[in-house]
């Protein structure tokens, strides 16, 4: 029905009723101005009743008087009686019907009073648009309990926030000596914070942490909280936790891995268990990705076996472990811990090429001439048994001192000669080696150990060269058979670049700055630094998700199965792998720098060591410490030249700020 302007109406809102005057009639809708001078548009069905035209131009006094009249009538309604009446007469649903039944009449103020009571008491009455029904006693009891629980939860949240404010203000050093006590009722909150940090479980704890302070991220605050109440595991790593990387796996993932059946030898794989096969890794490595073998062929050539772990035998596309690996696509090696891509039972046992165990593998069998030329090659799904588990130190010792009657030493020497010859061929094709010494850092029970890691020993070069070879051949196979894969490419630099074999920080910096960054691509392109026309990575499928993806593609084609990935899928994988891997490598560098600086702070503060001036930035002079390969600011009024070598005193170290201050030794 049309409403004249200035007609007083009572209208249903979302959670209440409001009196107002009509200021515009739009047919199916009207515009109503309330006592606060706000104008709202409402459909006609939301009008409960009208009170005729407002007698004056100022509607406020009339609206206030009418509201007082309605409130007085509302206070006269007996709630219990009304509820029982509606329970007995469920056919009464509209406000006019309910009002007529209760009052015996349905005057407009009575309608307004009844509607307000029904809307305001959602415990006893259920609203459906402009109609109502009574909740049953059982429903009232359930709602009462639900509201009680909500109120208690809200009150607990308030108490949690108040306690968290105290935790934020508490002194960290004092808490290290005397941890804060956790109120019993807040133990579940602390547990949820721990689950959030260690396993990535999301919960309402994250919202509480987010609202507590803007200075810290939720992870940083959770870390601070758990430190102050002494609830973190002894081996907890601040870098991992603050960056949202979870060393552990969910119980579901661990159970899934635990239930994987071990490999049982079968005829569909080439049996290479008769070969003498050696793995060469660091002594602490537990994910054995690769191993090597050598056979002397009658024509004087050699067959090199490059055997790679085959986790795709156990982990199938899109299963639980595959989804987890895609989220953490690169094993992370930090001074304090290792974050593996797969649960230990799979990555360090079932799929790892552990000595003495028959394992599924993907084997490249490469025929090579004595001068390092590849004469022929093939690769196949295989089963292998590693006979020797060597460290780099042990392998170097065998290469240097091994007895000529020791078949392993003889094989390693032949492999080393072939690797050196093949590397020379790459060097002739333009390969560039930029070698920088690194420190191997381990932290256990807060004890830091540092040792120089020489990655240019014969055994390191041997392993590296054959992994490069396997990756190159994998890329060639994919291109030859038109398989969509992820290639690793590097464009040629604009300026000439030379290799840095003997480390010099100045020369190293200059050559690195000239090099283009490597990139991942679904299209083949040369890799300048390796001197190869094609390159992919398949040699570390236990540690790199992209390698596992490539392994699946190759294995499917080899065995005549449908390819698991098409080009469009690889784009998504490439983007995730590239982004996450870059983050992880940055985190590794940051963690190593932190613990190196912490070691210097503890052991070398105030002491003198050698350093090389590597950069001048305005008035700031940067130098690299000889034995630690970290850089700091030299506080000096002199103007040393880049490349100058001088003795410096370690004046100040701030590991958290990644800051090292040096001064010339007097």
Average pLDDT score over the chain: 91
Instruction: Give the model confidence (pLDDT) of 207-241 as tens digits.
Output: 888 888 888 888 889 999 999 999 988 777 777 78
Both tokens assigned to 42 = 């409402």
| pLDDT at residue 469 in the model | 97
User: Would you state the pLDDT for residue 250?
Assistant: 83
Rounded-to-5 percentages of helix, strand, coil across the chain: 40, 25, 35
Angle between helices 407-428 and 392-401 (to 10 degrees): 100
Which residue in this structure is represented by tokens 């103020």?
109
What are the tokens at 223?
Answer: 């870390």
Helix ranges (H only) for 314-441 are 320-327, 344-345, 392-401, 407-428
Residue 230 falls in which region: left (phi positive, over 0), alpha (psi -120 to 50) or beta: left
- Cα–Cα distance between 603 and 622 in angstroms, integer? 21
Looking at residue 114, its pLDDT comes to: 95
Strand 358-368 to strand 487-489: parallel, antiparallel, or no bridges (unpaired)?
Answer: unpaired
Residue 7 in 3-state DSSP?
strand
Most confident of the ranges 23-37, 208-222, 309-323, 489-503: 309-323
Q: Which residues of 517-542 are buried (b: 16+ CB within 10 A; e: fewer)?
A: eeebebebebbbbbbbebbbbbbbbb
For the record, the structure tokens of 650 come out as 């370690």
pLDDT digits (tens, 9 = 90+) for 577-624: 777 777 788 888 888 999 999 999 999 999 999 999 998 877 788 999
How far from chain centre, in Å, is Cα 568?
23
117-121, 204-208, 321-325: least confident range: 204-208
Q: What is the pLDDT of residue 1?
A: 63
**Could you tell me how far CA 294 lies from the centroid of its own chain?**
40
**Domains and their CATH numbers in the chain:** 7-135 (no CATH), 139-232 (no CATH), 255-590 (no CATH), 604-664 (2.40.50.140)
d(CA 597, CA 648): 15
User: What's the CA gap between 285 and 463, in Å, rounded?
Assistant: 14
pLDDT tens, 484-525?
A: 998 999 999 999 999 988 888 999 989 999 999 888 888 999
Q: How many residues are recorded in the chain?
A: 666
pTM for this prediction? 0.73
Query: Exposed/middle/buried for 199, CB within 10 Å: 0-12, 13-18, 19+?
Result: middle
Q: Indicate the range of 15-29, 127-141, 354-368, 476-490 predicted with least confidence.
A: 15-29
Answer whether 233's CB lies under 8 Å from 199's CB: no
Would you place residue 204 in the very low, low, confident or very high pLDDT band (cuts 50, 70, 90)? confident
Tell me the pLDDT band of 573, cut-offs 50, 70 and 90.
confident
């Amino acid at each position: 029905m049309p409403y004249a302007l200035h007609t007083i109406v009572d209208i249903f809102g979302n959670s209440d009723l409001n009196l107002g005057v009509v200021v515009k009639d739009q047919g199916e809708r009207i515009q109503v101005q309330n006592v606060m001078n706000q104008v709202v548009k409402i459909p006609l069905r939301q009008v409960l009743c009208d009170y005729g035209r407002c007698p004056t131009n100022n509607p406020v006094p009339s609206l206030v008087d009418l509201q007082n009249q309605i409130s007085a009538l509302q206070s006269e309604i007996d709630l219990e009686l009304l509820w029982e009446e509606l329970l007995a007469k469920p056919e009464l649903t509209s406000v006019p019907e309910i009002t007529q039944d209760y009052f015996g009449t349905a005057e407009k103020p009575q309608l307004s009073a009844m509607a307000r009571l029904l809307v305001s008491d959602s415990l006893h009455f259920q609203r459906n648009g402009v109609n109502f029904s009574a909740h049953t006693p059982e429903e009232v009891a359930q709602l009462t309990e639900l509201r009680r629980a909500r109120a208690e939860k809200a009150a607990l949240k308030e108490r949690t926030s108040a306690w968290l404010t105290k935790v934020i203000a508490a002194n960290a050093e004092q808490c290290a000596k005397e941890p804060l006590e956790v109120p019993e009722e807040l133990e579940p909150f602390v547990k949820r914070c721990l689950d959030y940090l260690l396993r990535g479980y999301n919960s309402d704890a994250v919202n509480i942490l987010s609202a507590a302070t803007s200075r810290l991220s939720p992870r940083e605050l959770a870390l601070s909280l758990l430190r102050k109440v002494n609830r973190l595991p002894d081996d907890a790593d601040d870098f991992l936790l603050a960056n949202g990387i979870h060393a552990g796996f969910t119980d579901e993932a661990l159970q899934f891995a635990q239930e994987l059946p071990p490999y049982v030898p079968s005829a569909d794989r080439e049996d290479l268990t008769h070969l003498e096969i050696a793995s060469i890794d660091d002594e602490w490595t537990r994910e054995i990705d690769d191993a090597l073998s050598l056979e002397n062929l009658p024509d004087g050539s050699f067959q090199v076996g490059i055997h790679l772990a085959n986790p795709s035998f156990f982990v199938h596309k899109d299963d639980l472990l595959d989804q987890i690996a895609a989220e953490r696509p690169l094993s992370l090696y930090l001074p304090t811990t290792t974050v593996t891509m797969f649960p230990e039972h799979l990555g360090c046992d079932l799929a790892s090429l552990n000595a003495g165990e028959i394992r599924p593998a993907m084997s490249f069998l490469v025929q090579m001439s004595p001068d390092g030329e590849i004469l022929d090659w093939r690769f196949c799904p295989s089963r292998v048994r590693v006979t020797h588990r060597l460290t780099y130190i042990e392998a170097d010792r065998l290469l240097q001192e091994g007895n000529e009657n020791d078949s392993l030493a003889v094989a390693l020497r032949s492999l080393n000669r072939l690797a050196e010859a093949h590397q020379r061929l790459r060097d002739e094709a333009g390969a560039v080696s930029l070698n920088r010494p690194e420190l191997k850092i381990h932290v256990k029970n807060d004890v830091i150990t540092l040792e120089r890691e020489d990655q240019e020993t014969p055994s390191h070069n041997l392993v590296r060269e054959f992994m490069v070879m396997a990756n190159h051949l994998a890329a060639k196979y994919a291109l030859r058979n038109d398989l969509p894969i992820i290639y690793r490419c590097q464009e040629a630099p604009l300026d000439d670049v030379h290799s840095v074999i003997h480390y010099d920080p100045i020369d190293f910096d200059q050559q690195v700055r000239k090099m283009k960054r490597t990139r991942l691509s679904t299209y083949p392109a040369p890799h300048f630094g390796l001197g190869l026309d094609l390159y992919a990575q398949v040699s570390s499928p236990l540690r790199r998700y992209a390698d596992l993806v490539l392994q699946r593609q190759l294995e499917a084609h080899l065995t005549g199965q449908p390819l698991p990935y098409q080009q469009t899928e690889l784009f998504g994988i490439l983007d995730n792998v590239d982004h996450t891997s870059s983050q992880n490598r940055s985190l590794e560098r940051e963690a190593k720098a932190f613990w190196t600086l912490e070691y210097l702070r503890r052991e070398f503060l105030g002491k003198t060591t050698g350093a090389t001036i590597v950069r001048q930035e305005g008035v700031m002079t940067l130098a690299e410490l000889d034995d630690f390969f970290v850089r700091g600011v030299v506080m000096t009024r002199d103007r040393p030249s880049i490349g100058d070598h001088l003795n410096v005193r370690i004046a100040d170290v701030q590991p958290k700020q990644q800051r090292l201050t040096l001064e010339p030794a007097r």
